[in-house]
Structure 1
Amino acid sequence: MKKYLLSSLLLLAAAAAQAGMGFTELPGLQDDGPVSVFYPSAGEDRPMQVGSYSLKVDKDGQPVRGNTRLVVISHGSGGSPWTYTDLARRLVADGFVVAFPLHRGDNARDPSSPGPDSWKQRPAEVSRAIDTVAREPRFAPLLSLDKVGMYGMSAGGHTALTLAGGRWSPALLTRHCEAHIAEDFQTCAGLTTRLTGGMLDGLKKTVVLAVIRQRFSDAAWQSHHDARIQAVVAGVPLAADFDMASLASPPVPLALITARQDRWLVPRFHSDVVLAACNKRCELLADLPDGGHGALLSPLPPAEAMSGLAKDLLLDPPGFDRGQLPALDDKISAFLRKHLLP
């Protein structure tokens, strides 16, 4: 306890000494997209506009030594780094360097290949993002990469569970959708359509199942191990296609965040099943009773950039208080500090 308290005090001193949150983009490896990096910097934050997002960062500023640890964040389907910048700022304030890979075919620039095709390649993209930061002369001397943290939300939560030791297969997703197409429809259909209670619902379920059976019949187990990743947080993860026995005793500390009003990934088919399988080996970091699927996005994507269905699934349900998110970010950072710092 004394050692952890001392580490925390030193961390607070380092955070107080830094002036800003640096931001830079590094070219990815193996034709990956750019890796966005946020980090403790020596300069002052200045306004930066990225599309509809207004940020305050020290763009390409001089990095300063923080707590020597890297955290990789895996964005959700069709996502980008910009909806996780509040969490990134909390982590940077606590001394972390934060890296975002842009997942190929499943990001805001290119949403062409969501689903299992993306999920198969995402964990390796996380590993290559670590390699990218490790090769960058500005960051390599400031980091110890034997203990890297991982946070992922939604499809990024699926990536996080894989990197926490889970194995999954597309065939298990098909089996899940065959059993629960009505109760967990958006997991199976994504943003293609929704059930309305009308006369076309039966046809929609039939078509969605036909497509899934055709595309996702592969029963081969998918997994990925990176020994550098030593603590994982999965926020509202897609998890119905996992072999839960593989998550019963994760080799690294694993925490989950759930949102009870999530209608895209209904908790009882996803995070709740992981927590039941994991039992005492996983930590429920937070349960948001009024939170929807987009509760962990901060800032939220602009409403005008979303389809009607995406708005319905991602915008906050009535009664959800975004004022609780800074405390949630504190919990995420505290979990990672606890398991990654000396």
Structure 2
Amino acid sequence: MNGKTHSILSIFHLCWQTAIVLVIIFAGAAHAEDHTFVGFQEIAVPNGGEPPLHAGIWYPTLARPQETRLETFTQLVAPDGAIAGRALPLVVISHGGAGSFAGHYDTALALAHAGFIVAAVDHAGDTFDDQRQVLKLWRRPQQLNRLITFVLDDWRDHAHVDSRRIGAFGFSNGGFTVLVAAGGKPDLNLIDPYCRDHPTHDLCAALTKAGVSSVAALPVPPDAWLRDPRIKAIAIAAPAFGFTFSNGGLNDATVPVQLWRAADDHHQLNPWYDEAVRVALPHPPEMHVVAGAGHYDFLPPCGAVLAKHAPVICADPNGFDRAALHNLMNAQLINFFRTKLR
């Protein structure tokens, strides 16, 4: 072997060793990402002329966590711990009707453990303690937009957010919210004929109980349904008002979509909700149909206090394993957003 050949082989051997080291380093970094702790902050988000919106942010941290109360839940977080990581993707969460920003805390924790920043907001006027604006559905996407703007511009750790990688997750009314933010344009005039045909369905029975004889008279602003182009991928579970998108209302919702349906959803019956959304989307979504699940199984398992005060959303009469669903769903959400928010 001459000197030149030996030099070439030495260089090749060095490059090969370097490549192996780099693979190990990157693999280790990806693995370590799933073992960071979670920091948590409660924040106030400016809301135009109204009081600030109450919201929460979960994010990776190296600070040691502690058990912390969040409404009726207990979460293992480091309150106000220093953020770890740079150029982190952001996922915003929109809760269901009469819910709160804490309503999907387990999903927020899972995503933050996986290296995401997660922000969720109380949708003022459609929370558990304030339903006065529940039919003004256009307020919710506006509030989600303000949450994103706050995290990107004014949050204390905004420099750690990658503004090019933003996703959104929503359940029920939150699914509707996220669809609008992704480009959906619902036709609320479809609610009245829907309720004439299905007066016993949950939505229609609730409207009747509230004394609302017609939704057509709602003063919908001309700029009600504005797309937020910063959102690059969405995941939705049991989206409310799905049928209002039937007439081409989702033609502009071209981002990747992960769609979850509970096979035994007796509150939002098939095919007027999830299936209506699936059909209206311009591109086929990543579809997940959960056998045996009911509408509220997309909420995390309840503790004793919540089960006592809200048995309707906590009961699983058929013995459905809600905890197992959330382990599966959270893993699928992490995989979806990692893949689509590259």
- Which stretch of the first structure deviates more once superposed, 225-234 or 159-168? 159-168
Find the counterpart in structure 2 of residue 256 from structure 1. Answer: 259
State whether residues 45 and 52 of structure 2, in contact with CA within 8 Å, keep that contact through their aligned partners in structure 1: yes
Q: How does 1:150-161 map to 2 (within 5 A)?
A: 150-161=168-179
Q: In 2, Cα distance between the equivalents of 1:188 and 1:12?
A: 48
2:31 aligned with 1:28, yes or no?
no
Structure 1 residue 38, shift from structure 2 partner: 0.6
Q: In 1, Cα distance between the equivalents of 2:203 and 2:228?
A: 27
Code of the aligned partner of 1:36 = G
1:253-306 per-residue CA deviation (whole Å, 9 max, x = no partner) reads 11210001111111321001111233753221x211211111111133712222
State whether residues 15 and 93 of structure 1, in contact with CA within 8 Å, keep that contact through their aligned partners in structure 2: yes
1:15 aligned residue (34, 42, 48): 34
Q: In 1, Cα distance between the equivalents of 2:280 and 2:28?
A: 36
State whether residues 55 and 101 of structure 2, in contact with CA within 8 Å, keep that contact through their aligned partners in structure 1: no
State whether residues 11 and 66 of structure 1, in contact with CA within 8 Å, keep that contact through their aligned partners in structure 2: no
- Aligned residues with identical type, % of pairs: 26
Code of the aligned partner of 1:25 = E
2:141 aligned with 1:123, yes or no?
yes
1:294 aligned residue (293, 296, 300): 296
How high is the TM-score relative to the length of structure 2? 0.82
Find the counterpart in structure 1 of residue 152 from structure 2. Answer: 134
2:105 aligned with 1:85, yes or no?
yes
Structure 1 residue 136, shift from structure 2 partner: 3.6
User: Secondary structure at 1:54's aligned position in 2?
Assistant: strand
RCO higher in 1 or 2 (8 Å CA, sep ≥ 6)?
1
Structure 1 residue 231, shift from structure 2 partner: 0.2
State whether residues 254 and 283 of structure 2, in contact with CA within 8 Å, keep that contact through their aligned partners in structure 1: no
2:190 aligned with 1:186, yes or no?
no
Structure 1 residue 86, shift from structure 2 partner: 1.2
State whether residues 40 and 77 of structure 2, in contact with CA within 8 Å, keep that contact through their aligned partners in structure 1: yes
Structure 1 residue 77, shift from structure 2 partner: 0.8
How high is the TM-score relative to the length of structure 1? 0.82
Q: In 1, Cα distance between the equivalents of 2:314 and 2:71?
A: 19
State whether residues 166 and 246 of structure 1, in contact with CA within 8 Å, keep that contact through their aligned partners in structure 2: yes
Structure 1 residue 216, shift from structure 2 partner: 3.8
Structure 1: runs of 5 or more not aligned: 1-5, 193-206
State whether residues 174 and 239 of structure 2, in contact with CA within 8 Å, keep that contact through their aligned partners in structure 1: yes
Structure 1 residue 110, shift from structure 2 partner: 2.2
2:233 aligned with 1:231, yes or no?
yes
User: Secondary structure at 1:39's aligned position in 2?
Assistant: strand
Q: In 1, Cα distance between the equivalents of 2:91 and 2:204?
A: 30
1:193-234 per-residue CA deviation (whole Å, 9 max, x = no partner) reads xxxxxxxxxxxxxx4597231x44349674121111000111
Q: In 1, Cα distance between the equivalents of 2:52 and 2:272?
A: 32
2:49 aligned with 1:49, yes or no?
no
Residues 1:300 and 1:187: Cα distance change in structure 2 (over 3 Å): farther
2:188 aligned with 1:170, yes or no?
yes
1:44-87 per-residue CA deviation (whole Å, 9 max, x = no partner) reads 11111234222221111111116611100000111113231111
Structure 1 residue 235, shift from structure 2 partner: 0.5
Q: In 1, Cα distance between the equivalents of 2:211 and 2:67?
A: 48
User: Secondary structure at 2:119's aligned position in 1?
Assistant: strand
User: Secondary structure at 2:217's aligned position in 1?
Assistant: coil
Residues 1:67 and 1:108: Cα distance change in structure 2 (over 3 Å): farther
State whether residues 63 and 138 of structure 1, in contact with CA within 8 Å, keep that contact through their aligned partners in structure 2: no
Q: In 1, Cα distance between the equivalents of 2:157 and 2:326?
A: 29
Rg larger for: 2
Q: In 2, Cα distance between the equivalents of 1:66 and 1:186?
A: 45
Provide the alpha-carbon RMSD of the alignment: 2.5
1:278 aligned residue (276, 281, 284): 281
Residues 1:187 and 1:101: Cα distance change in structure 2 (over 3 Å): same
State whether residues 166 and 243 of structure 1, in contact with CA within 8 Å, keep that contact through their aligned partners in structure 2: no
